[in-house]
Structures are given as structure tokens and as C-alpha cells.
Amino acid sequence: MGSNQTWITEVILLGFQVDPKLEIFLFGFFLLFYSLTLMGNGLILGLIWLDSRLHTPMYFFLSNLAIVDMSYASSIVPKMLASLIMQKKTISFVPCILQTFLYLALAVTECMSLVVMSYDRYVAICHPLHYTVVMSWRVCIILSATCWMFSFLLALVHITLILKLPFCGPQKINHFFCQIMSVFKLACADTRLNQIVLFAGSVFVLVAPLCLVLVSYIHILLAILRIQSGEGCRKAFSTCSSHLCVVGLFFGSAIVMYMAPKSSPSQEQRKILSLFYSLFNPMLNPLIYSLRNTEVKSALRRFLGKKSSA
């Protein structure tokens, strides 16, 4: 590597490149969504913690998903909000790489968590008599811990490969955060290996898990159709349809983002997709689960009833 190369110490985040007046509107809009994300997921966590009726494996995994969603949004949105109202739209290189690492790790954790939740529903509906044995608390904790450890190790592989690259410019990222494919463009070296590893990782954590989820739900659907009780069938379908909505939103946007050809989608469309699954998805998850889940709604009514009678 030549001595005339200048190492990057700071990166300019170009963000949305809109009129300054519109930036104030976007700040308020995104701040509202971020607040709803924290409040919605915080409410889910609180209800599960306070209501003993929700101390089951299904809600253990749901609380884990809520923690992932809050962390996921918090790894990006605060810096994005600061960039919208500050003249200096920069981030130091080390925090930029840290943001990339956290974003990747938490995205994979969410993906793995959704797969584990589908497995939980498969066991509950297809093998109800063995549910308490198969999904013991020990198994639940091991599955959850494995999701986190695997995700952070996979993200570490990507970051290790990134840090081996020479970064000498350009200093601008055409995004609102240090998204991994935008970080590649800062390198003054061939990044084909990084891109191949990223694509292979995307296949491993998106396509393969999605196939597992779909197989689980084919078995679940067949089991639901065999349920004689109308109430039991409705309850099972309601629980599973909520999870399928979340799976569709997350996997759909992520596959388009990381596995579509370079020419499609465009960079501006990539920003919107990133915004969708880093801010809107975490906000929608608690709404989907609470609006379509009678047990969560009942827990909320009991909690509000206690508050009003106090």
C-alpha cells in the first residue's frame, strides 16, 4: 500500500439530500416513529414481565424480539435524527464501523429469532402433547442465546474482512447510516471478496431460514385444518398469522435489499428499504402482535384495570 494514501478518520453521511426545511419535518416524523417503536416494544416487554399468564415460551421469544427491535432501531435512528438537525453531518470512522457491526448483528438476531418463533409455533400446534417437554425453559434460553451469539459472530466475520481493507476515500456515504454496502465504497481496494461473503451470508441467514419458516407453516396450516374446535382453530390461526405478517415484512425487504442485482433497487430505493426494516418494521411488530393477539390485549386490559382501581 502506497505511502501517499490518506486514511479516513471521518465520514460524511449524505442522508436523504432534501431541502433543509423538509429535514425538520423528517426529523419530527422519524422521531415520532422511533418513540412509538420504543413505547410499543417497551409495553410488550412490560406486559410480559408483569402478567404471569404470559410467562410461556411463546411470549419469552416475543419479549426477546422486542429487545432486538429496540436495539436494532437504536443502533441507527439517534444518529440519523442528529444528522437531520445538525449542520455537520459526519461520523468518525470507528463509530461508523461499530454502527455497521451492531446493525448487522441485530439484523441477523432478528432473523434467527423469527425462525425460532416459527419453530415454537410448530411444536405448539403440531405436537401439543410434547410442547412442555420440547420447549422447556432450558431449551428456550439455549435457543435465544444461540441466536445472539451466532449473529454477533457472523457480524464479526464481516467486520474483520472490512477492517483488512485500506480506506482512503471517498469520505462520503450516500446513506443515512454506515450500511455495509456503502462502507465497501469507501475502500480503495477490490471488495469482491467482501461482497461474495456478504451474499453468501445473506443466503445463509435469509433464504435458508425463510425456507424453514415456510416448511414449518405448511405443517402448521395442515394441523390447523384438522382442528375440530372452531375457537381453537381461530386462536391458532390468529397467533400464526401475526407471526407470518412480521416474517413477510422483514424477510421480503431484506432479501430485496441484500440479494437483488446491483442495478435494482436504486440507491434511493435502498435507503427507503433500509428505513423500512430498521424503523418501520420494529414499530409495526408490537402493533401486529398486540392487535391480533387476544392474550396480549387481555393482559393490557388487566393492567389498565389495576391502574384505574388503584
Query: What's residue 6's pLDDT?
Result: 46
Which of 55-59, 78-82, 160-164, 278-282 shows the lowest mean pLDDT across its residues?
Answer: 278-282
The residue among 1 and 25 whose pLDDT is bigger is: 25
Q: Which pLDDT tens digit goes with each residue over 265-304?
A: 667 777 877 887 788 888 888 877 776 677 777 777 787 7
The residue among 7 and 114 whose pLDDT is bigger is: 114
* SS3 of 83-99: HHHCCCCEEEHHHHHHH
The DSSP line for 182-211 is HHHTTBSS--HHHHHHHHHHHIIIIIHHHH
Residue of 73, 33, 12 lying closest to 274 (CA atoms): 73
What mean pLDDT value characterizes the chain? 84
pTM: 0.86
Name every residue whose Cβ is closer than 8 Å to that of residue 50 and which is 6 or more positions away in sequence.
299, 303
The secondary element (H helix, E strand) that includes residue 283 is: helix 281-291
Tell me the pLDDT band of 68, cut-offs 50, 70 and 90: very high
Q: Which long-range contacts (CB under 8 A, 24 or more apart) does 54-58 make?
A: 54/295, 54/296, 54/299, 57/120, 57/135, 57/137, 57/140, 58/117, 58/120, 58/121, 58/124, 58/239
Structural domains of the chain, with CATH: 10-309 (1.20.1070.10)
3-state secondary structure of 173: strand
Tell me the pLDDT band of 232, cut-offs 50, 70 and 90: low
Residue of 221, 222, 249 lying closest to 237 (CA atoms): 221
Q: Is the pLDDT of residue 1 over 50?
A: no
